[in-house]
Amino acid sequence: MTIRWKHLIALAIIAPLLGLAVGWSGLMSVRASTGHWAVTDWFLHWVMRNSVSARAVATGDVPPLDDPALVSGAAGHFETGCAICHGSPAQARPDSVLAMLPPPPDLKAVVPEWTDAELFEIVKHGVRFTGMPAWPIQSRDDEVWSMVAFLRKLPDMDAQAYIQASGLHGVGHAGEVSPLPITCESCHAEAKLNDGSYIPRLAGQSEAYLLKSLKAYSDRQRPSGIMQVAVGTLSVESLPELAAYYANQKPGPRADAALDPALVEEGRQLAEKGRTSDKIPACLSCHDKQGGNPAYPKLSGQNSAYLQNQLTLFQSGGRGGSEYHHLMTGAAKELSADDISAVAAYFSAR
């Protein structure tokens, strides 16, 4: 029998109509309780793995992920947004989650199967048809890499290590994590921070700056997947009270960081004088200035790693905030990587 063009055209018309008829009939089951056929389960996972692997090629260079400072903020976010489905070393997944189709995997078992670039692809973009969401803010690759760094540590974490990293505030009598265990102090407690922390010190910042920052996160004007999830659990009415609390705190004692005196001096020159040839203003003309604008953050004593990261975000245009953030975008534009390290070292030591 010869297959003619009219046969192919008829098939092209009939096949989708037949598919629509099957869908309309209700014969196709969407019950999660019945599970997938083995071949369906294999096919979906096969497609997923091929898709992730293909797109991971375009990820680019993988940054160093062995910095312990990357873990803390990501661990807190994991407890807030991920552990409910994937479980954690401190608490198993509930039965209701295990009844999902497909059930979220135990990450301690599956993380070693993926490369760093593949984990980045999954965390940043999520996975369709599984309930795995994309990262809340697509412009913050630095946060996504922090989560990848945390996931690399997760398989070897016991409950105590996880509680310490995530900032959980204790375990209930039945051995389960207490409700609402994550607070601002889980990440921002002075005792948890050092000069290598990417999490900022809030104690002693002005109430005006803190309130503007919280509102900027809430209004999605300052990009951060971690902070937008955290602030999203708070009412707008509670933000002034939270800002006032940290504004009234006194910064705690901190260990002296091992900073290069020459680098600190270079930073001092930029902070005090700027560099007119590159149109870089003096940092101290706005920041830490007596009688200055209270909406500008205080930089002295801030963590060097945090300052470097924020300046890099300003430089790339990835740092929003209050109505003044464009001033810093312009000021940071001509800073070199060495300039950023020097300025961060100076204010950290100041």
Residue-level pLDDT at 178: 52
Instruction: Count Cβ atoms below 10 Å from residue 296 Cβ, excluding itself.
Output: 19
Judged against a pLDDT cut of 70, whether residue 62 lies above it is answered with yes
Model confidence at 218, pLDDT cuts 50, 70, 90, reads very high
Mean pLDDT, residues 225-242 taken together: 93
Instruction: Tell me how far apart the alpha carbons of residues 217 and 213 are, in angstroms, rounded to a whole number.
Output: 6
- Of all residues in the chain, what percent carry a pLDDT higher than 90? 69
Residue of 156, 157, 96, 86 lying closest to 122 (CA atoms): 86
Instruction: Tell me how far apart the alpha carbons of residues 303 and 325 are, in angstroms, rounded to a whole number.
Output: 20
Mean pLDDT, residues 123-141 taken together: 94
Sequence-separated (6 or more) residues with CB below 8 Å from residue 138: 124
> Tens digit of pLDDT for each residue in 243-288?
999 999 988 777 767 788 999 999 999 999 999 999 999 999 999 9
Model confidence at 29, pLDDT cuts 50, 70, 90, reads confident
Residue-level pLDDT at 303: 95
Judged against a pLDDT cut of 70, whether residue 180 lies above it is answered with no
CATH of domain 52-192: 1.10.760.10
Model confidence at 311, pLDDT cuts 50, 70, 90, reads very high
Fold for 207-349, please state it: Cytochrome Bc1 Complex; Chain D, domain 2 (1.10.760)
DSSP-derived secondary structure for 32-57: STT---HHHHHHHHHHHHHHHHHHHG
Residue-level pLDDT at 119: 98
- Three-state DSSP class for residue 167: coil
Judged against a pLDDT cut of 70, whether residue 149 lies above it is answered with yes
Model confidence at 170, pLDDT cuts 50, 70, 90, reads low
This prediction has a pTM of: 0.90
Judged against a pLDDT cut of 90, whether residue 49 lies above it is answered with yes
Model confidence at 44, pLDDT cuts 50, 70, 90, reads very high
Range(s) of the chain covered by CATH 1.10.760.10? 52-192, 207-349
> Tens digit of pLDDT for each residue in 188-199?
998 889 999 999
